[in-house]
Chain A
Amino acid sequence: MRGIRKEFPGVVANDEVSFEVRRGEVHALLGENGAGKSTLMNILYGLYRPDGGEIRLNGKPVSFSSAREAINAGIGMVHQHFMLIPVMTVAENVVLGTEPVREGVLLDERAAARRVADMAKTFNFAVDPEALVEDISVGQQQRVEIMKALYRNADVLILDEPTAVLTPQEASDLFDILQTLRQEGMSIIFISHKLNEVLEIADRITVLRRGKTIETVSRHGATEASLARAMVGRDVLLRVDKPQAATGDVLLTVQDLHVRDDRGIEKVRGVSLDVRAGEIVGIAGVDGNGQSELIDALTGLQKIESGAVTIAGRELSHASARAALDAGIGHIPEDRQRRGLVLEFSIAENIALHDYAKPPTARSGWLFPGRMVQRAKTLIKEFDVRGGGPLTRAGGLSGGNQQKLVVAREIDRDPKVLIAAQPTRGLDVGAIEYLHRRLVAERDEGRAILLISLELEEILSLSDRILVLFEGEIVGEHTGEVSEETIGLEMLGGGEKAVA
């Protein structure tokens, strides 16, 4: 692809972008959110038309006006949000649009299933062709997406942020599959903003920033720091420097907490912990080991089966969400788009979500929009929320700025205890750096911070104390230096406690 240019109303998404992929290599496209990676790939896949530049495939210039043309030319794409139909079988999803036919008009279901089974066997995919897509795991769904491309004889495979939805184990399986495909002579374009996985899988790396190609480098010689600099345009502190914690009183106490999820399964089974003022306690664990239920119980969103939650001396075991907030809990939710913000509301309205009924925002049942806007202006400035003013729709902000907005609202309420759940999920390096520094700063202000994250690295670099959650129980506690391996083992239930 050479000199590709694409403009959307008001933005240049790709500005003279050039890069090339060789046969049998894994080529990573690295860049922050909004750097133009996905746009570039949608152009290559025929979903967008470029405003300038040319695409050459095997030396010949090509131009695709639809996905079908790109597919016919041997390009396959695994989208970030899977393009699968949940109520159809794996085989039906794979052959859709290029179906095998018998007797002229009928769909040959058997041939479809057989060919999918053959592919699954060749590449060791372990996917049942007759299974419904909604019944298989996310990792398997991704393999179905890859099979869709293989079935259409793709020799260039584009993967858009493929690991975003995978567990670490599934991601490692995916990398094995990609290695196999590369050995078969396939060219793979791997889009990501995660430095470590790019260094692990890619042969060469092209960095994009704000729609422009910055550089193409070989994996050998590239480091996380050098790539981060190219991505962001300045030096990035990947490790957080933080002073020694000065801890104070215990602000959050949880005693023998048991919580059941919506289906009645006990997900939190006797968790006890406390968090002091001025410390960050990190909870490590593989997804689905009770993190969400623990958070929901602490914030009053889920009923507690038994046990006690105390915030700054106040018993809050069966309190409502409103009471938990009033008692001094701040909550940065796991899913900012669904739980953190009302995307159709403006920034000012989102900021007023908690305190809309209290002075100064409201008095005697009347809302004062002017005051809401004033407050929003102050916070936008203080927390460096970019991309709009107080009346901008929250949904129009980038992920990093949405998260800053949530953090601004929660911290402005001056909470005693701040629960930060996956605070940097899906964010790019620059925004992660900002949020990490902010969390440490809030700790130094004397807040008690409970950090729940699936990113082990984040837990290790931020926490003063680490608790490991496995199947709803705390199976390990560490203060000070501890290796990633030790915690990783405990996260899988293989710690000392399990051995003993």
Chain B
Amino acid sequence: MNTWTARLENPLSARLRDPATTGAFGILLGAFAAFLAIPPIEARTVTWPILFGIVAAALGIWTVTRGRRRLGWGAVAAGLLGIGLGILATRSSTGNLESAFDATLVAQTLGFSTPLVFGAIGGMFSERSGVVNIGLEGMMLMGAFWGVYGADKGGSWAVGLLVAMGVGGLLALVYAFFAIHLRADQIVGGTAVNFLAVGITGYFFIELYNNNPIHNGVSLLPNVHVPGLPVNPDNPHGFVDFLGQAVGDLSILTWAGLALVILAYVVLFKTPIGLRIRACGEHPRAADTVGINVYVIRYGCVILSGMLAALGGIYLSEGPQGNGTFIFNMTNGRGFIALAAMIFGNWRPAGAAAAALLFGFSSALALKLQVYSQSAGTLFQILPYVLTLIAVAGVIGRTVAPAADGKPYAKQ
């Protein structure tokens, strides 16, 4: 008889009407509105972007009135932006549009994201255990140089991978000793690690290679060809060709990075060791009193973060973009962007990965846009930093660091 109230209490419909859901859905729709106007869908009328944009904005307003202001206004803004971009895109010529927004944009986004994913997940392990790792940048740089060195001298990219991880882990061990054992200031210590890495790689680059780009013929990280997908279709047409261009020819590390995100989630949130790691980052003394060795956990996590960052680094020198060459200070701040992605993603694997993809996307877009306008491209480069500032300021739901992050633990 009371079907109406029963329906009200139905958890699914209640969840759908939850302002958090509607707000997120609104933002999604706003993004979709812009997406409609660009390839591969490429709706040539403004109707569809406008329609979706309006729905997104409406959902946003609904959300605002239900009390979730930030999320709601976010959805409204996404809707309006979606309409604006949609109109712009439909006005510009198809040819221009296709060269900017084609499948290679997807491939490049994934490519640019790869080192960030490794760095961000590495940083996450370190910070979840309670150690801030500003030194990611340096560990990445070490990976970039020693990875090429290993591949060069060992004759195989696999040797390069192992050498990079070993050296990255070693530098992390040194940092861990200062940060955990000697309880040194972690910001200062991490900064020192970064300069140390620049110095070490710079010195050996001159010593071993006379500052010349490493000769060609170094064994490179292989790409993975997805069976059934065309790798480089001459005249791309249709969905299969699109997929082939987008994901048919990605580096092995790009795929490994995606797997790493899932693995990191499982380890951190679904295993006892993950629970212990998080306990050490939140309340090390509590962990200590139930018999968890805080030092062992923290050392392990920092070393792991160094190894993962080094994998991000070797992608730069040995991956498709690096082509086996090392350049002085070639990480160029990517370790810090990885750190920003981790913060943007609220110290969670999926969030960090999404942030890394977003940052990768803005880098890829900047590269494409440089064809038309140098300045517009450069402008897009700053997007990651602006987004990070917004995230840290708490506009899109406040980010919360582990409570004991960056605080050295002293056993009594």
Contact = CB atoms under 8 A, between A and B. Distances in A.
A77 B288 CA distance: 12
> What size tier do the contact residues of chain A reach?
20 to 34
Interface stretch (A94-102, A434-442, A471-479): A94-102
B270 A106 contact: yes
Interface stretch (A16-24, A84-92, A241-249, A392-400): A84-92
Nearest to B269: A107
A148 interface: yes
B271 A97 contact: no
26 contacts: A45-B289, A66-B291, A67-B291, A68-B291, A71-B290, A77-B289, A82-B286, A83-B285, A83-B290, A85-B283, A88-B278, A88-B282, A92-B275, A93-B286, A95-B275, A96-B286, A97-B287, A97-B292, A98-B290, A98-B291, A99-B275, A105-B271, A106-B266, A106-B270, A107-B272, A107-B275
A68 B287 CA distance: 11
Interface of A: 42, 45, 47-48, 66-69, 71, 77, 79, 82-88, 92-93, 95-99, 101, 105-107, 148, 152
Given A83-B285, A97-B291, 12 more contacts: A42-B412, A47-B412, A66-B291, A67-B290, A71-B291, A87-B400, A95-B275, A96-B275, A97-B290, A105-B271, A107-B274, A152-B290
B276 interface: yes
B286 A84 contact: yes
Given A83-B290, A106-B271, A97 B285 contact: no
A153 B20 CA distance: 42
> What size tier do the contact residues of chain B reach?
20 to 34
A99 B290 contact: no
A72 to B, nearest CB: 8
B308 to A, nearest CB: 20
Instruction: Kindly name the residue among A68, A84, A107, A148 whose own CB sees the greatest number of chain B CB atoms within 10 A.
Output: A107
Contacts of B276: 96-97
B403 interface: yes
A48 B286 CA distance: 16
Contacts of B270: 106-107
A47 B288 CA distance: 9
Nearest to A69: B291
B131 interface: no
A415 B288 CA distance: 48
A65 to B, nearest CB: 11
A71 B283 CA distance: 19
B279 interface: yes
A37 B270 CA distance: 39
B193 to A, nearest CB: 29
A79 B288 CA distance: 12
B278 to A, nearest CB: 7
A235 to B, nearest CB: 36
Instruction: Kindly name the residue among A42, A85, A152 whose own CB sees the greatest number of chain B CB atoms within 10 A.
Output: A85
Instruction: Kindly name the residue among A45, A68, A71 whose own CB sees the greatest number of chain B CB atoms within 10 A.
Output: A68
A48 B289 contact: no
A46 to B, nearest CB: 9
Contacts of A86: 282-283, 403
A67 B275 contact: no
A168 B247 CA distance: 65
Contact of A87 (B282, B287, B292, B412): B282
A84 B272 contact: no
Contacts of B285: 83
Nearest to B411: A47
Interface of B: 266, 270-272, 274-276, 278-279, 282-283, 285-292, 400, 403, 412
A152 B287 CA distance: 14
B287 A96 contact: yes
A85 B290 CA distance: 12
Contacts of B275: 88, 92, 95-96, 99, 107
Q: Return the 9 tightest CB-CB contacts between A and B, nearest first.
A: A68-B291, A97-B290, A83-B286, A99-B272, A85-B282, A83-B289, A85-B283, A97-B292, A107-B272
Contacts of B290: 67-68, 71, 83, 96-98, 148, 152
B189 to A, nearest CB: 24
Contacts of B412: 42, 47-48
A42 B266 CA distance: 36
Contacts of A148: 290
Contacts of A66: 291
A165 to B, nearest CB: 16
Contacts of B292: 96-97
Nearest to A152: B290
A71 to B, nearest CB: 6
B284 to A, nearest CB: 10
A82 B282 CA distance: 13
B401 to A, nearest CB: 11
A95 B278 CA distance: 14
B282 A107 contact: no
Contacts of A92: 275
Given A68-B291, A96-B279, A97-B292, A85 B286 contact: yes
Contacts of B289: 45, 47, 67, 77, 79, 83
A69 B289 CA distance: 11
A130 to B, nearest CB: 15
B287 A84 contact: no
A215 to B, nearest CB: 29
A87 B286 CA distance: 13
A67 B288 contact: yes
Contacts of B286: 82-85, 93, 96
A66 B271 CA distance: 24
A96 B271 CA distance: 11
A107 B276 CA distance: 11
B283 A107 contact: no
Given A67-B291, A148-B290, A85 B271 contact: no
A232 B279 CA distance: 40
Contacts of A71: 290-291
Contacts of A98: 290-291
Contacts of A88: 275, 278-279, 282
A71 B289 CA distance: 9
B365 to A, nearest CB: 36
Contacts of B266: 106
A92 B286 CA distance: 12
A14 to B, nearest CB: 15
Nearest to A101: B272
B265 to A, nearest CB: 12
Contacts of A79: 289
Contacts of B278: 85, 88
Nearest to A48: B412
B291 A107 contact: no
A83 B279 CA distance: 10
A438 to B, nearest CB: 35
Contacts of A48: 412
A240 B363 CA distance: 76
Instruction: Kindly name the residue among B266, B291, B403 whose own CB sees the greatest number of chain A CB atoms within 10 A.
Output: B291
Contacts of A82: 286
Nearest to A72: B291
B155 to A, nearest CB: 36
A98 B289 CA distance: 12
B412 to A, nearest CB: 6
B283 A84 contact: yes
A353 B292 CA distance: 43
Contacts of A69: 291
A47 B291 CA distance: 10
A122 B381 CA distance: 60
A107 B287 contact: no
Instruction: Kindly name the residue among B271, B290, B291 whose own CB sees the greatest number of chain A CB atoms within 10 A.
Output: B290
Contacts of B287: 96-97
Contacts of B291: 66-69, 71, 97-98
A47 B161 CA distance: 42
